[in-house]
Amino acid sequence: MSQATAILTGVGREGQVGEAVARAFAASGLAVALVDHSGERASARASELAAQGHVAEGFGCDLADDGSLGALSERISARFGDSVHYLVHMAGGFAASGPVAEASLDVWHQQLRINLETAYLTCRRFLPQIRHNAGAIVLFGSQAALPDAAAAGLSAYAIAKAGVLTLTRAIAAEERKHGVRVNAVAPSSIRTATNVAAMGDIGPYVELDDVARAVLFLCSDAARAITGQIIALG
């Protein structure tokens, strides 16, 4: 997987899944373009990897804004040329919307925007680069979005993530002829700093490194026959 670049979104805050995925991808020999809403945070994570001898660059972007994504695409192309093979979209967030009869429309719109709209726009923007190299995309769903999940109180989040899973299958079907593979992971609760602080030791968590290994596998040549699949974790 060397001599290729991976775009990793949602890599800014310490102790989150993006940080673990960035470490795993850099350790595999890939150059990594780390994207976060905060360019300062993304650059801090990139500097940590660069200090270890990896090729890494941080970028700030509002992934729900297509104009901002266009500028990001130009900056990544200027830095990494046509070497982009992989996109892993981890940007998003969780908020409980409460029962549908009492739910806030603000939470509904926010969850769709940060989870589904960012995934749609980011894939749309970078597909030409991924297609050029017959690469791979991995999106992040959730077990709350799986058909047999009970999403009481979480309808906005679960529906947004279900949209991500449908988007995964749609792009996989559309891009198969171009050699592009698109899959999603659907974790249960991940042992992130945020989750532990909010929920304590509820156990069992999905470990960060296990998520990173699954994502790296889906981008690797070992998974060349896998596309349009939802991989449940935990």
> Residue 1 pLDDT more than 70?
no
Q: Which residue has the higher pLDDT, 234 or 1?
A: 234
pLDDT at 122: 98
Indicate the domain borders of the chain: 5-233
| Amino acid 195: pLDDT | 79
Q: What does the pLDDT look like over 50-108, one tens digit per residue?
A: 999 999 999 999 999 999 999 999 999 999 999 999 999 999 998 888 899 998 899 99
Residue 16's nearest CA partner among 33, 41, 51, 39 is 41
pTM here is: 0.94
Banded model confidence at residue 232, pLDDT cuts 50, 70, 90: very high
Helix axes 66-80, 118-132, angle to 10 degrees: 30
Tell me the H-state helices in 105-176.
Answer: 105-111, 118-132, 155-175
Residues whose CB falls within 8 Å of the CB of residue 105, separated by 6 or more in sequence, listed in order:
none
Q: What percent of the chain has pLDDT over 70?
A: 99
pLDDT tens column, 157-187: 999 999 999 999 999 999 999 999 999 999 9
pLDDT for the residue numbered 203? 67
What is the per-residue pLDDT across 49-59, written as a single tens digit (0 to 9) for each?
999 999 999 99
Residue 197, pLDDT score: 80
Mean pLDDT on 11-28: 95
Proportion of the chain in helix, strand, coil states, percent, rounded to 5: 50, 15, 30
Topology of domain 5-233, CATH: Rossmann fold (3.40.50)
Catalytic residue, candidates 86, 120, 157, 205: 157
Q: Is 157 a catalytic residue?
A: yes
Residue with tokens 């769709």: 112
